[in-house]
């Protein structure tokens, strides 16, 4: 790759990373606003304003969904950052062999990362489903 091509690729990766971070920030702002609105609405209806500490089935369901969503958000963010890091390394590769080695390592690490993330998601989902089921009298999961 020419130096000019490498520089252009690095600039595009930096732009994509910045755009991703802006989307993450906007998503966090939206989620916080939603949770704040939900808490205020619950308070107005005489329910616990903090769904995570409430004891009703709706609160347990909300907490379960939030736990699963948080696990997914963390996994997605980890994967996106790893992808940007890989892309940055790839454009700095000295030759095709170095690029192939980088790609092989990235794919191996990504496979391991996915496996750990799926186990984490499974544990979180099972724990969340168990919490909801215990609260509704549906029995253990």
The parent domain of residue 67 ranges over: 3-133
Q: What is the pLDDT of residue 51?
A: 46
Contact in structure between 138 and 123 (CB atoms under 8 Å): no
| Number of domains into which the chain is organized | 1
Residues with Cβ within 8 Å of residue 57, at least 6 apart in sequence: 132, 135, 136
DSSP for residue 47: S
Residues with Cβ within 8 Å of residue 49, at least 6 apart in sequence: 39, 40, 42, 43
Contact in structure between 87 and 100 (CB atoms under 8 Å): no
Q: What is the pLDDT of residue 35?
A: 78
Cα first-last separation, the chain? 55
- For residue range 32-71, what is the model confidence (pLDDT) as tens digits? 888 788 777 766 666 555 544 455 667 777 788 888 989 9
Q: Is residue 14 part of a domain?
A: yes
pTM, two decimals, is: 0.74
- For residue range 98-134, what is the model confidence (pLDDT) as tens digits? 999 999 999 999 999 999 999 999 999 999 888 888 7
Residues with Cβ within 8 Å of residue 20, at least 6 apart in sequence: 80, 84
Q: Is residue 109 part of a domain?
A: yes
List helix spans (H) across the chain. 3-44, 57-91, 96-136
Q: Is residue 141 part of a domain?
A: no
Q: Is residue 99 part of a domain?
A: yes
């Amino acid at each position: 790759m020419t130096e000019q091509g490498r520089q252009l690729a690095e600039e595009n990766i930096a732009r994509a990373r910045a755009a991703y971070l802006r989307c993450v920030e906007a998503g966090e702002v939206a989620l916080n606003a939603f949770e704040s609105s939900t808490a205020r609405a619950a308070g107005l209806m005489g329910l616990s304003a903090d769904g995570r500490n409430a004891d009703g089935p709706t609160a347990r369901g909300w907490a379960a969904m939030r736990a699963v969503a948080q696990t997914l958000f963390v996994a997605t963010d980890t994967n996106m950052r790893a992808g940007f890091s890989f892309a940055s390394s790839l454009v700095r590769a000295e030759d095709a062999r170095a690029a192939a080695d980088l790609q092989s390592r990235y794919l191996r690490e990504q496979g391991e990362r996915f496996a750990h993330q799926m186990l984490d998601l499974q544990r979180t989902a099972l724990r969340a489903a168990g919490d909801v089921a215990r609260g509704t009298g549906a029995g253990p999961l």
